[in-house]
Amino acid sequence: MRITMAAAAKKGFSNPAFKALGIPTIKLPSRNWIIFWSVLSMGLSGLAYDKYEQKQILKKYTGLVKPLAQEALPVDKKPRKITVFIAPPPNDYLETSLKIWRRFIKPVLYYSGLDYEVVEADRQGIIRMKVASQLRQLRLQMRGEERHPDSVKDNSKTNTSEPAQPNVEIEETPVKPIAKSDFLGVFYNRPKEIKVVDEDSLVEDPRLAGGVICIGRGAYKEYITGLHEGLLGPLQEPERVEAITDKDTASLSSDGNSIKDDPVAEQQNVDSTVTVVKEDKKKEEEEKQTSEEETPEIKIVKPYIDPSEYPNVEIPSELYQLASPDGVIRDPKTNVPILLYQPILMVAIPSLSGFSNIPRRIYRFYQKRHFAEKVCSETYDVVKQEHIRPFEAPADLSQGEFDEEVDWPKSWVKQGLVRKSEWTRELKCDSRIVEHMSMYGSKPEDRTEP
């Protein structure tokens, strides 16, 4: 009885025509194979659907901005320029942030016809240094204009030629006038050089000039800190007072006298300094050879001003516009409002790590279309200059805190607190600076925590 039941179970469906063609008997797979193929097909179909939706979302927003690029732009104007700051998530590579830029932000800006400048930072402090350095150079230019308002000298007043002697006749040989066409030739009728201006310099409202996109909570923190450092900090790097170490005090003997008072010790000290100098020269030569072969790295400089010193610092005289809410500081060369007045968009980087976060990572992996919709819509607002609002402190200082910073690795945060990392410090601001700033997007009270 058992043999007949097993044979009946293995029999399956068979068609005489298929059997004549050599096609084997059609039968259902086993229970384990059915479970395997079902799970695999569901996973692949979910991934394919998510990818398809991402493409449709990107196609939607690029199609909305394409008419802007088809509008005629005069040859003497430059399009609006967006500045993009990109920083990697903690304990991760810069490529993670660049993927968000290439997939969801760059296509919308590209098809809109806007200009953009990308600042990539693979280490902490680079964005802060670049923003602060740019503002310090601007302040130096403005100081130079205040000190020398009339840079053009009047040649009629400063005549260094010798005075003409009286009663002396000077014979002048007649000079044949030369026409411009004789030496210019075909370039005689050449049109004058066209002066190109930026569109950002022609707007009256500084909030409609340019725009700033910070990809990553770390980039946002460095950008805000760089604005305060460049506007409120000193123009020159302050002198750092270093504490005296045990090595410095070891040069003194037990009786309080210096080792230099002992002739034997002095001779030994001279011999040791000679050997040290030789070793230093060898090290310098080796470092020069290695530095020529390797690409030079940017040296990270500490902030010129501590955030706790913001309220005690007076506004520099060259930045008198900051004293009034309606004052606008523009670049002396381009007449474009500085970064302080350009609205900011902060894009959080969803980055999870750790074994316990695997379920959340799987969920986010299949829900990337919602993140794509959010980022593309915010980039569209940047292009169309919509939903611009004033900066609200201290609520806007927490931009990206609930979307990104809460997911930072706990071990990395602990090490950052010990090393006094710029990203783990509390973000502080000055009311005199943030009252001129603006943001893209919804108000802080409208945001919901995940």
Q: Write down the pLDDT at residue 292.
A: 44
Q: Chain-wide mean pLDDT for the chain?
A: 80
Q: Write down the pLDDT at residue 336.
A: 93
Most confident range (mean pLDDT) of 44-53, 144-153, 199-208, 319-328 is 44-53
Q: 163-172, 249-258, 374-383, 438-447: which has the minimum mean pLDDT? A: 249-258
Q: pLDDT, tens digit, for every residue of 211-268?
A: 999 999 999 999 999 999 999 999 888 876 554 444 443 433 334 443 344 444 444 4
Give, in order, the Cα–Cα distances in Å from 210 to each of 49, 200, 225, 419.
36, 6, 20, 36
Determine the average pLDDT of the residues in 390-407.
90
With a pLDDT cut of 70, the percent of the chain lying above it is 72
pLDDT band at 152 (very low <50, low <70, confident <90, very high): very low
- 211/112 Cα distance (integer angstroms): 14
Q: pLDDT, tens digit, for every residue of 335-346?
A: 999 999 999 999
Q: Write down the pLDDT at residue 217.
A: 94
Q: Write down the pLDDT at residue 286.
A: 59
Q: Write down the pLDDT at residue 428.
A: 92
Q: Write down the pLDDT at residue 339.
A: 93
Phi, psi of 345 (to 5 degrees): -120, 125
Instruction: Provide Rg for the chain, Cα atoms.
Output: 35
Give, in order, the Cα–Cα distances in Å from 243 to each of 237, 240, 248, 257.
18, 10, 10, 21
With a pLDDT cut of 90, the percent of the chain lying above it is 50
Per-residue DSSP letters for 48-74? HHHHHHHHHHHHHHHHHHHHHHTS---
pLDDT band at 355 (very low <50, low <70, confident <90, very high): confident
Q: 30-44, 145-159, 164-178, 234-248: which has the minimum mean pLDDT? A: 145-159
Is the predicted pLDDT of residue 287 greater than 60, yes or no?
A: no
pLDDT band at 29 (very low <50, low <70, confident <90, very high): confident
Q: pLDDT, tens digit, for every residue of 57-82?
A: 999 999 999 999 999 989 889 999 99
- 349/372 Cα distance (integer angstroms): 12
- Residue spans of alpha helices (H) in 297-442: 358-365, 368-384, 410-419, 431-434
Q: Write down the pLDDT at residue 354.
A: 83
Element (H, E) at 85: strand 81-86
Is the predicted pLDDT of residue 420 greater than 90, yes or no?
A: no
Q: Write down the pLDDT at residue 161.
A: 41
Is the predicted pLDDT of residue 114 greater than 70, yes or no?
A: yes
Q: Write down the pLDDT at residue 257.
A: 42
8 A C-beta contact, residue 100 and residue 215: yes
Q: Write down the pLDDT at residue 256.
A: 41
Q: Write down the pLDDT at residue 449.
A: 42
pLDDT band at 4 (very low <50, low <70, confident <90, very high): low
Is the predicted pLDDT of residue 166 greater than 50, yes or no?
A: no
CB atoms within 10 A of CB 94: 16
8 A C-beta contact, residue 89 and residue 404: yes
Q: Write down the pLDDT at residue 62.
A: 95
pTM above 0.85, yes or no: no
Is the predicted pLDDT of residue 33 greater than 60, yes or no?
A: yes
Q: How many residues does the chain have?
A: 450
